[in-house]
Amino acid sequence: MRKTLLPAVTANILNHLISCCMKELTKAEEQIMQILWKLEKGFVKDIIEQIPAPQPAYNTVSTIVRILEQKGFVGHNAYGKTHEYFPLVSKRDYTRSYMKNFIRNYFSGSFQEMVSFFAKEDNLSVSELDELIDEVKRDLEDENPS
């Protein structure tokens, strides 16, 4: 029993740490992370190639990547003086943390308030809301098959 409980407890602790303690990214940091999530790993030159024109200087991107490394978002493998960077935090984990903070800060922690707000803002009809509910149900069933 202890063997099966430990991974669940570890996962719960990790999820808590990710959701409560993860720092938010600046816009520039998020742009770099989006690229690294897409590439899965890459050198600074690979990251720069993915940035639309006008591309920032090599040193600018290198500095942002090192900041992301200090924040615990990115790791690296060294090949002499060259570093290949890779995400340590998954896009899903960051999104979860970001959205939890967003809902807490703007909607008093209420997912229902957030959905209600956007439903009113986008003038969603009852049938569109029903479609949304059906889609969420399908996603939940896909994640947790019986």
Mean pLDDT, residues 32-59 taken together = 97
Write down the pTM of the prediction: 0.72
pLDDT at 132: 85
Mean pLDDT, residues 99-128 taken together = 88
Cα separation, 73 vs 35, in Å, equals 13
Highest mean pLDDT among 2-6, 15-19, 130-134: 130-134
Mean pLDDT, residues 98-109 taken together = 91
Q: DSSP characters for 48-103?
A: HHHSPSSPPPHHHHHHHHHHHHHTTSEEEEEETTEEEEEESS-HHHHHHHHHHHHH
Query: Quick one: pLDDT band at residue 146, thresholds 50, 70, 90?
Result: low
